[in-house]
Amino acid sequence: MDANTRHIPVLQTIVLDVLVPTPGESVLDVTLGLGGHAAEFLQATAPDGRLTGLDADEENLAIARERLSKWEKRIELLHCNFSTIEAANMQKVNVVFADLGLSSPHVDDPSRGFTFRSEGPLDLRYDRSSGRSAADMLLECDEEDLASIFRTYGELFKETRRLSQMLAGKKFATTLELKNAIDAAFGFRSKAILPQVFQALRIAVNDELNALQQLLHTGPELLLPGGRMGVISYHSLEDRMVKHAFRSMVQSDKDPVTGKAVSIPDFELLTPKAIVPSEAEIAANPRARSAKFRVIRKK
């Protein structure tokens, strides 16, 4: 296997400790990536547990299929975005898992256009077989729409107006063309702005937050009694959505007059606070720095 398939999954040990997959259980991994977490699930659920893996990226799917080939009779790998799981009529499972972070090839392969540190096409799509690239989005968006993207998905506020004026309707073929334009406009401040710009474009291009909203709605419904759902997020927008969704599922309905609980929630929260990587893990894998892991269990 090449270097891409030897990566260590974020929060690898913690994921297994909290989700506790056991022999014979079924797992739905909606962000298969390179198959790192999936391999751990398959080992833990041996000899007859099953795993269904989803990924929007066909290249990741091919790598994962090779990596997981020794369990081929126990796996089903599908090329799709997890936003479609409600329409896909999935069977109920014991574990639903999502790791929302970028996979290694997205960051390390300049041809994917996910990083401003190397030159590549300004793409940022997980699934390059459909949808519009980031370059297309900049060319087609008007200033108002682009400002909303930077404000909402990049959490850029003071810079939003200037960015949208200089980028909307303009043609940027490569990541470095965009980087150079922002460097020229913002000088030393571009170092802080660039990551947020690329985050905002990536989220918009892949419709990530709407996909996550769909997952948070449908994922819990796919759990068998006693089933667990865990999500690793990497920025505040995602984590806020996961936190609020999970907390709402574990709260009882209240009587509007007395304030007393009038229902028993179907879920319980296994992580009162988000679990974060240890200092040792961050030192070994700096990309894990911002990871937060939250889990619920169906009663």
Question: What is the C-alpha to C-alpha distance for residues 249 and 27, in angstroms, rounded to an integer?
Answer: 21
Q: Rounded mean pLDDT of the chain?
A: 92
289 has a pLDDT exceeding 60? yes
On whether the CB atoms of residues 103 and 37 are closer than 8 A, the answer is: no
Evaluate the omega torsion of the peptide bond into residue 47 and state whether it is cis, within 30 degrees of 0: yes
Determine the topology of domain 3-99+209-298 in CATH.
Answer: Rossmann fold (3.40.50)
The reported pTM is 0.91
pLDDT digits (tens, 9 = 90+) for 241-265: 999 999 999 998 776 777 777 778 9
Per-residue pLDDT at 146: 96
C-alpha torsion 54→116→195→60, nearest 10 = 10
Cα 189 versus chain centre, distance:
28
- Lowest-pLDDT range of 1-5, 88-92, 123-127: 1-5
Binned at pLDDT 50, 70 and 90, residue 126 comes out as: very high
β-pairing verdict for 223-233 and 292-298: antiparallel
Question: 112-206, which class in CATH?
Answer: mainly alpha
175 has a pLDDT exceeding 70? yes
Locate 193 and state its tokens. Answer: 């702005």
166 has a pLDDT exceeding 90? yes
Q: Where are the domains of the chain?
A: 3-99+209-298, 112-206
